[in-house]
Each structure stands twice: as C-alpha cells, then as structure tokens.
Structure 1
Amino acid sequence: MKMICIGAGSMAESMIHGWINKRILKPEDIGVTNRSDMERLEFLKDEYGVRILCEQRTELRHAEFVLLAMKPKDVASALEGIRKKIGPQTIVVSVVAGVSIATIQKHIGDLPVARAMPNTSAQVGKSATGVAWSKGVTPNQQHTLRNLLSSIGNVTVVEESQLDAVTGVAGSGPAYLYLFAEAMVDAAKANGLSEDDAKKLVRQTFAGAADMIQQEDFGLLRKRVTSPSGTTAAGIEVLESGGFRELVTGCVTAASNRSKELGKEFE
C-alpha cells in the first residue's frame, strides 16, 4: 500500500479525492484509519474505494507514505500507535497545523519527515500547498513528494519556520474567500437580486477573477477595473475606509499565530 492516512477528516478526504481523481493513486493503494470513528472510515471506503486498515496496522510496514491528518491534540497518541510499525523507507507527511518536524521525530525517531500545508481545494486539484522537510528527506524523496503534492495543486517549498504563515494565507485562505462570497450574496440580495441570481453572479465573478490573477499583477488588475469616480471606485473606497487591508492582515496573522499556539500546546 503506497499511502496510509492516519486521520480521516475533511483535509484527508480532499487529498484522497484529488489523488484518485487525477489517477495518481489507485483506491486500493490508499489505506485509512482514525482514532475511533468507524462510520467515517466506512464512508471513505464506500465513497472512494479506499481500504480500512486492519486493527494491527501491519500495512504500515510497507507504506511509501504515511499521512498525518488528525487534530493536533491527537498527534501524540497517533504517533505512539504507529511508531514501531513504520518501515525505515517510509516518508511521514504531516498536514497537522503547528506541530514541528522535530516534535514528530521525537516520537517516531529519525525517519524522513515532511510538513505540508495544503488546503481543501486539493479536492479539485487546485490546492495551494506549502511544504518543508527534514534533512533526512533525500533529493529523490523530495522529488517524489513534490510530484505527489503537485498532482493536487501548486507547491511552494518554504522553510519550516514559514509554514505558520502558509497556514494563515493558504491553509485557511479558502474560508476567507467563501465568507466574502457569502457577504457578496447577502449584499446582492439587499440590493434587490434573488438569491439564485446572486449566487450565479458571485460564482462567475470569482471564477473569472481567479483566472485573471493567474496572468497579471493583482494591483494592475484592480486599477484597470477601477475607473476614477466610477462605480468600482465607490465600492473600493468603502472597503479601504473601513480598514479592509488591516482586517485581512489581522485575519491572516490570527490564523498564523493560532498555528504557532497549537504547536506549543502539543510540545
């Protein structure tokens, strides 16, 4: 079995969905387990065709990757449960916010460990993922891991110290955009549009803007849309006067700081 997922929440599911959809991994190459939620494991088995690990977890010995995808508070018990079962060739990949490579290795020994921070857009192959790895991850393993993560989106290699910022920007980022989309729909309804029409317009606006920012500088795109004394300028003025940029900075900083706190709580 190539991939063992320890933890079966939304992030693990998004990555599994992306890998299978992109045909990077076959369903039978993926094993899943969690602390106690058998109903969730059965759902993933029925939905994607993945395998539920046996109680003894003997499959861990031959896994190419072990994905840690549980809550930070569950990491210690999870690592203790797999420490003696992982083979020396296995790469441990953690998507747990805040928990350091050194802390993981303290529990499982000097195995190659990578920390990655994807987001749930992995489900559609569009994750923005930051990754850092321990010194024990060989160039060949780095290449393999980058290919695996690139199959579900774009990958940026960063220093481990920068992963908390990646969490604040990219890991949590989709939720900020979804909230903004909700607010735009509410505003459209307040100005006379039906909910269905508002959602249709907002979805296409986001989709078009997402394509545009792949091609040009963000600031130039904004200026091009914002004619002096025009409608867009009136809207932008409200955002700027309301401290929009400061709110975004505070939002990202709060998420980044919480990632750091979670790591300290575990340690």
Structure 2
Amino acid sequence: MFALYRSRSPLLAIFPHHHPKLRGLRAMADGSAAVLATRVGFIGAGQMAEAIARGLHTAGVLPASRMYAADVNASRCKVFESFGANACSSNAQVAENSDVLILAVKPQVAEKVLLDLRPKLTKEHLLVSIAAGITISNLQKWAGDARIVRVMPNTPCLVGETAAAFSLGDEASEKDANVVKTLFQAVGKIFVVEEKLLNAVTGLSGSGPAYIYLAIEALADGGVAAGLPRAIALSLAAQTVLGSAKMVQETQKHPAQLKDEVASPAGTTIAGLHELEKAGFRAALINAVVAASKRSEALSK
C-alpha cells in the first residue's frame, strides 16, 4: 500500500532520475496528464461528487469544462453549471461524453442505475465507484465491459481533506490507478489496498470523522464545565484536534511520542490522561473501528 503526496511536478528537478521519490512524482505527473487529457463524468451530482469536481478544478488537475454531471435533482446539476461543468439530461448522456465515470449515487440505487446505463458502457470507460459497500464483483456484473475501480472516501472530501482508499478491478490498469490517485489527491490523500481491506477503511476513516466530532463535542463540553464560554470552548477544541493531526502528519513522530512530550511529570496532562485510561478511552476507539468494520462487511454481503 502507498500514500499519495501533494508534491507538484516542478520538484522532479530536485531528485536524481533513479530516486524513489522521483518515480512517485513521475507517476503523479503521468496521472495528472492522463486526467487533463480526458473527460470525467459524474453519475449523481451530490455533495461528494461536487467536492471532487471542485477539487479537480481548483487544483488545476482538470478544467470544469471537461466535466459532465447528471442527477435526478435538477438543482444539483445547476450547482455543477455554476462553476463551469456541463449538466446532462441523463446518465446515458454523461457516459457518451466521458472517459472516466464516477458513480456517486446511493448504494441502494446503484444496481438499477448501472443496469440502465450498461448499454452505453464499453471497455473504454473507467468506472470509479464511491458507493459504499458495493463490491467490485457486483459493479462488474452490473456495468458489463467497463473497467472498475472501487473507492472509499470520507466526508472531509467536502473541505479538501479526504482520507480515502481504493481497490482495482481485474481489468483496471496501472494507468487507471494513476488516474484515480490524481483525482482524489485533489481533495486529500488516498491509498491503494486490497478490496478485502476496504471494510477496515470504512470502519476507520469512513466512520472515523463521527468519532472525532464526538471527541470535539466532549472536549468543548469539558471546557464549558471548567468555565469557558461555549463558542470559545468549541473553537479551542476543534483547533486542538486540527493542530494535533497536523503535528502527527508533519513531524512524522509516533503519536505516543508526541503525547509523552506534552505530559510533564506530575502535570495537568498526565492527570487528564490517567482519567482517559480509567474510562477506557483507547479501547473504546479501537472497539468502534472494529465494530464499524464488521458492520460494513455485513452490509456488503
């Protein structure tokens, strides 16, 4: 499995031609070129689809004029038109005008949508599904000849900070993988995993934002209980989570090391950590991820 970085192609000049990071940057540059040379269609134009489309446009990965979208809700198509994308009257029209199709419909309607669209799908189409719980085998069965990639993003996609993972169908190529990486790099980070691990991804990053929202709410309530005005407590709690996450990513230190650096002997932090350990905080989070992963597995059968 591998992570995607937000580096840009000018960095290619920094590294010797054999450097591992150069190879990764070249792959990203190749992926960007492939996306710029293609047309992306959205089957379903909801908020997640909009976030991806806006991210691609804003990052300069793909101009909005090369994007197409259809949705049963006409107002959602108008949203796409507002930033320069093309609204289509049907999913079939999207397919006719696109090389890459992003399936962004609710899981319960995915089968009907794909079966209706199947006559328009060919081996030239790359179908990227973000419909939760729909397996590659089912997608392939419903979509016919299209090449399949299954992606599990999460809602921070809406603010350009998704934590996503994807798996390739049997007919998908390395070029397809690079295209998908480039698409989702525009709205966060993405990793490639075996399909059997996508349930774990769902339990961790798919459901994870809800766990963090609960933690932010609880931290803010604690601040209020200690005397802070609620608005200040909530802002402090949210910024603390944001800053802590950036510390993990940017320092590359293990979270345990960063925790120890905050907890001085006989200080305030170690007293608070002791209470969290007594309450089973760590175990509760582990159990939440495992429970959500198992539920995802059950829903995908």
Matched letter for residue 253 of structure 1: V
Runs of 4+ in 1 over 4 A off after TM superposition: none
How much has 1:8 moved relative to structure 2? 2.6
Inter-partner Cα distance in structure 2 for 1:154 and 1:17: 16
1:208-260 CA distance string (max 9 Å, x none)? 21221012111111111122332111111221111112211221122222322
Inter-partner Cα distance in structure 2 for 1:219 and 1:9: 39
The question of whether the paired residues in 1 share the 8 Å contact of 2:70 and 2:91 is answered with no
How much has 1:197 moved relative to structure 2? 1.6
**1:1-267 residue pairs with structure 2 within 5 A?**
2-34=39-71, 36-46=72-82, 48-55=83-90, 57-214=92-249, 215=251, 216-264=253-301
Runs (5+) with no aligned partner, structure 2: 1-37
Aligned length: 262
The question of whether the paired residues in 1 share the 8 Å contact of 2:150 and 2:167 is answered with yes
The question of whether the paired residues in 2 share the 8 Å contact of 1:67 and 1:92 is answered with yes
1:21-53 CA distance string (max 9 Å, x none)? 21222222222223x32233333433x332221
The question of whether the paired residues in 1 share the 8 Å contact of 2:68 and 2:98 is answered with no
TM-score normalised to structure 2 length: 0.81
How much has 1:13 moved relative to structure 2? 2.4
The question of whether the paired residues in 2 share the 8 Å contact of 1:94 and 1:116 is answered with yes
- SS of the aligned residue for 1:200 comes to helix
The question of whether the paired residues in 2 share the 8 Å contact of 1:17 and 1:123 is answered with no
How much has 1:105 moved relative to structure 2? 0.6
Inter-partner Cα distance in structure 2 for 1:116 and 1:56: 20
Structure 1 stretch 166-175 or stretch 199-208: which is displaced more? 199-208
Matched letter for residue 218 of structure 1: P
Inter-partner Cα distance in structure 2 for 1:182 and 1:49: 37
Inter-partner Cα distance in structure 2 for 1:37 and 1:257: 33
1:78-112 CA distance string (max 9 Å, x none)? 11121111232111001111111011111111421
% identity of equivalent residues? 34
The question of whether the paired residues in 1 share the 8 Å contact of 2:148 and 2:169 is answered with yes
Inter-partner Cα distance in structure 1 for 2:296 and 2:47: 18
For the aligned residue pairs, the C-alpha RMSD in angstroms reads 1.9
Q: Match of 2:17?
A: none
The question of whether the paired residues in 2 share the 8 Å contact of 1:118 and 1:129 is answered with yes
